[in-house]
Structure 1
């Protein structure tokens, strides 16, 4: 049996600074993706131009640029990409994700198991200190959480994939979340579970991503974390085990937020004191 084909979908809003790096990682694969779809959602910067430049530079990579201008928001943008994808499996990453060179190959290997309908992979936070330790700790936690979640294993939008037929089975059921109150990837996972689809956690599907969420103010970060609770409540699910990610994310925020702030000041100080070329 031939390996399943993989489409990669990347929602993007004002990501001209990250999209090139993201696309290079998608191109530099041991097993090529069938297509790489960037869904531009009303960007006001040079996101579209950056993607078009990559299309011209790598015509063999099958990079597609789709405009989603009807609604501002991640859910509608993701849906537009999923609906446009033609691969057997639809991969979904963020525009600041940098998938490992064997990511497509690992997705194909995971979905060769006909019992898996969707999967999330492990994460390497490339702009955090102690990356190797952080990746191992994150991977261990996600494995535990996948076991605790029972029927409701969650999907992580920055690094996930699902069968195209699984998407077609639930696309008319997922919430549009116009109020932007929920985790759209968690909502998708719940609908897949309710449809009898199996979601797995696959460590080998590794992607790097930014920890820039930790730069949010305490108020904004709390609103983000509480999306877990609001999403489950929307579905009438009240299982405290499923709220474990909230506890973990809130617990690590103070220290990691402070560390990133300190690192940012150190970086700014180094730049400020860097001698101008020609100075002695």
Structure 2
């Protein structure tokens, strides 16, 4: 597919020297190229900036843009800076450990060819877990089921989402800029999209890979992460019990998921990408 709207991919990054190269290369190696790939470096103290400079040299003809966001520490202001810097009609948003499937941009263009779509999200492949393709099908089924439960306030998943630029301009003065503190910034984004009347859709073929490194957290830290769902809805005075279903699901999968990941990393003799510097 060569038609459809233009697409920028925004990648917030903070101390991601272990993942940023694979993330950017996957974004570059799409069957249908992105019009722009924006990496927003947020005060990294490791080799992230050096690696981004090397990527610019390695791919001189690529539409790779490096933006420094030094005003505030956090994924929310860094995401916002990337969205504001982007020039395309659709703004993709992934994490610095996301590995896009080759058809991702093509699928985003297809989805947003429908002018009624304001935002979209899709399933994940956990590339540092065993049984990856089986896990991808399970993830897809889980997310589709959760969206059926939530008749309103459909969520967008920050590791794999896209938003129409006009929708972003409509909500950017309304999103919670302190979402990093106790909330999920992507969940907050979805709430403001819904409140402003923008349609959010789910695309099973809009697939990205991500690390399961969140499972490396101890039980209390993982619980605090999951409870951010509750705190996000509480902040917005939303009390629909169905919207809490993801909390139950993600809490339930933690023991088995952690065991599977530990065994997998053991088999790789300590592989994996480590915890995120932004992990809350």
Q: Distance in 2 between matches of 1:186 and 1:269?
A: 32
Q: Deviations over 1:99-158 (max 9, x none)?
A: 011110100000001111100011111111111111111101111111211121000000
TM-score (ref. length: structure 2)? 0.93
Q: Distance in 1 between matches of 2:179 and 2:157?
A: 20
1:73 and 1:178 in contact (8 A); partners too: no
* 2:158 paired with 1:157: yes
Name the residue aligned to 2:69.
68
Name the residue aligned to 2:276.
none
- 2:61 match: secondary structure: helix
Kindly state the Cα deviation for residue 264 of structure 1 after the two structures are TM-superposed: 2.8
Greater gyration radius: 1
Kindly state the Cα deviation for residue 223 of structure 1 after the two structures are TM-superposed: 0.8
1:139 and 1:203 in contact (8 A); partners too: yes
Q: Deviations over 1:150-197 (max 9, x none)?
A: 121000000000000000000000001166100000000000000000
Q: Distance in 2 between matches of 1:2 and 1:15?
A: 33
Name the residue aligned to 1:37.
38
4+ residue stretches of structure 1 with deviation over 2 A? Answer: 261-270
Name the residue aligned to 1:204.
205
Name the residue aligned to 1:13.
14
* 2:104 paired with 1:103: yes
Q: Distance in 2 between matches of 1:37 and 1:182?
A: 25
The root-mean-square deviation of aligned C-alpha atoms, in Å, is 1.5
2:179 and 2:185 in contact (8 A); partners too: no
2:129 and 2:264 in contact (8 A); partners too: no
Name the residue aligned to 1:53.
54
2:3 and 2:109 in contact (8 A); partners too: no
1:146 and 1:200 in contact (8 A); partners too: no
Q: 1:88 to 1:129 in 2, by over 3 A?
A: same
Kindly state the Cα deviation for residue 73 of structure 1 after the two structures are TM-superposed: 0.6
* 2:210 paired with 1:192: no
Q: 1:269 to 1:238 in 2, by over 3 A?
A: closer
Q: 1:113 to 1:49 in 2, by over 3 A?
A: same
Q: Distance in 1 between matches of 2:270 and 2:188?
A: 42
Question: How do 1:1-280 residues align onto structure 2 when only pairs under 5 Å count?
Answer: 2-177=3-178, 180-268=181-269
Name the residue aligned to 1:274.
none
Aligned length: 270
- 1:42 match: secondary structure: coil
Kindly state the Cα deviation for residue 266 of structure 1 after the two structures are TM-superposed: 3.5
Structure 1 unmatched ranges of 5 or more: 271-280
Q: Distance in 2 between matches of 1:178 and 1:68?
A: 17
Structure 2 unmatched ranges of 5 or more: 272-280
Q: Deviations over 1:42-86 (max 9, x none)?
A: 110010111111111112211111111111111000000000001
Name the residue aligned to 1:276.
none
Q: Distance in 2 between matches of 1:3 and 1:267?
A: 42
Q: Deviations over 1:254-273 (max 9, x none)?
A: 11112222333343389xxx
TM-score (ref. length: structure 1)? 0.93
